[in-house]
């Protein structure tokens, strides 16, 4: 944390990255028309390119957009920030007035704040991990008593929704699957539908252990449901900053569409349901 930047610097960086990503992700076939619209809007001065209620001018819209981006980047620290004081610092900077703290003081405050935020994040992660772990254990204990749910030696639970007649994949195979992954509360974190609906190609040995074990039980053409305990998924940390909470039990609906050729040695892994 010794190189922790100030909160305003981080917010500014987030805005810059947002702009950059927006420019990079612009579809090629619409680039020329978008550029033309942007040029026309620039020529028109303060006339906005969009009509937005409550934001009649281009300056209003730009200001609101920057505020939105700053708000999103500050959301994790919302209880630690005084907006009035922050706005005072912004006005001071934009007016070129003398600030109440110099760069060295700002760096010291930023470092101490970063350490507090890191501690708070760790404490929340530990609390959530305990809560999610207990909830997962209780769910799996009850779920495992159902007659159509099978539990493997590792703790993976699965249900055969429909059984196919094809071969079963090996660890070195690449499979094509359709899937949906949710947490125990039903919140979807990934699916093939979210990526266009086409089957996804995945190396069996490059995904989370529970998913890898489960898909090897499936003949091609099958549809299974998996309940994967945290120890076979993302463990106590989950995916920090991502959609998987710490110590989360995951639920997957999986259809095994086909088995592809084994992945060549050194080949780049295909996408996997790990996000």
Which residue of the set 226, 228, 252, 259 is catalytic?
252
Which residue of the set 158, 173, 189, 228 is catalytic?
189
Question: For this structure, is 113 an active site residue?
Answer: no
Question: For this structure, is 190 an active site residue?
Answer: yes
Question: For this structure, is 234 an active site residue?
Answer: yes
Question: For this structure, is 189 an active site residue?
Answer: yes
Question: For this structure, is 208 an active site residue?
Answer: yes
Which residue of the set 158, 234, 244, 259 is catalytic?
234
Q: How far apart are CA 158 and CA 226, in angstroms?
A: 4
Which residue of the set 158, 173, 208, 259 is catalytic?
208
Which residue of the set 158, 173, 179, 259 is catalytic?
179
Which residue of the set 173, 190, 224, 226 is catalytic?
190
Question: Position of tokens 């300056």?
Answer: 59
Q: How far apart are CA 40 and CA 50, in angstroms?
A: 12
Question: For this structure, is 52 an active site residue?
Answer: no
What amino acid positions are annotated as catalytic residues?
A: 179, 189-190, 208, 234, 252
């Amino acid at each position: 944390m010794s190189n922790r930047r100030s909160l305003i610097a981080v917010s500014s960086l987030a805005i810059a990255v947002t702009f950059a990503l927006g420019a990079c992700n612009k579809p090629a076939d619409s680039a020329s028309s978008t550029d033309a619209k942007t040029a026309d809007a620039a020529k028109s001065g303060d006339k906005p390119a969009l009509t937005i209620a409550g934001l009649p001018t281009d300056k209003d819209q730009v200001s609101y957009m920057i505020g939105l981006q700053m708000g999103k980047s500050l959301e994790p620290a919302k209880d630690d920030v005084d907006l009035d004081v922050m706005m005072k610092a912004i006005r001071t900077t934009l007016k070129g007035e003398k600030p109440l703290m110099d760069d060295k003081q700002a760096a010291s405050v930023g470092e101490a704040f970063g350490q507090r935020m890191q501690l708070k994040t760790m404490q929340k992660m530990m609390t959530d991990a305990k809560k999610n772990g207990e909830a997962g254990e209780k769910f799996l204990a009850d779920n495992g008593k159902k007659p159509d749910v099978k539990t493997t030696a590792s703790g993976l639970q699965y249900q055969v929704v429909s059984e196919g007649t094809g071969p079963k994949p090996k660890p070195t195979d690449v499979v094509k699957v359709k899937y949906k992954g949710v947490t125990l509360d039903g919140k979807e974190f990934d699916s093939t539908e979210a990526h266009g609906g086409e089957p996804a190609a995945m190396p069996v040995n490059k995904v989370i252990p529970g998913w890898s074990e489960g898909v090897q039980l499936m003949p091609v053409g099958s549809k299974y449901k998996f309940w994967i305990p945290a120890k076979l998924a993302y463990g106590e940390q989950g995916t920090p900053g991502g959609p998987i909470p710490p110590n989360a039990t995951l639920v997957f609906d999986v259809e095994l569409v086909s088995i592809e050729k084994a992945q060549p040695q050194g080949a780049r892994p295909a996408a996997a349901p790990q996000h």
